Amino acid sequence: MKKLFFTAIGFMAFSFGIQAQSPVVTDTLWVNGVCGMCEERIENAAYIPGVKKADWNVDTHQLVLIYKSDKTNLTEIQESIAAVGHDTRDIKATAEQYAQIHHCCKYRDHAPH
């Protein structure tokens, strides 16, 4: 019985150790937008399961991400951002998605920075 108890404890410790070593990645994406409303929309869209931090800078258009690579990836994050109307370098919002954003956020109508 003692052997079974210690085996179960060892298995649980091993299982928890694997979970604690989840690969966390820091990455940066370029995302188009023009204002604080864009910032809120982009950051909210980026917070899909597995994303721990999303911080977009309106001046540089850089979105800093911290996420668990075993839960999500850059493609999924970019697809979520495009779905709310914002382009990344790799994935563009459709005309329908872009049309849904507020008129002051229409970055395609603004001169490039």
SS3 readout for 55-111 = EECCCCCEEEEEEECCCCCHHHHHHHHHHCCCCECCCCCCHHHHHCCCHHHCHHHCC
Q: Report pLDDT digits (tens) over 67-99.
A: 999 999 999 999 999 999 999 999 999 999 999
Q: Rounded to whole angstroms, how far apart are CA atoms 16 and 23?
A: 14
**pTM confidence score:** 0.78
Give 21-35 pLDDT, tens digit per residue.
679 999 999 999 999
CB-side exposure of 2: number of CA atoms within 13 Å? 0
State percent of the chain over pLDDT 90: 76
What lies within 8 Å, CB to CB, of 7 at 6+ separation is none
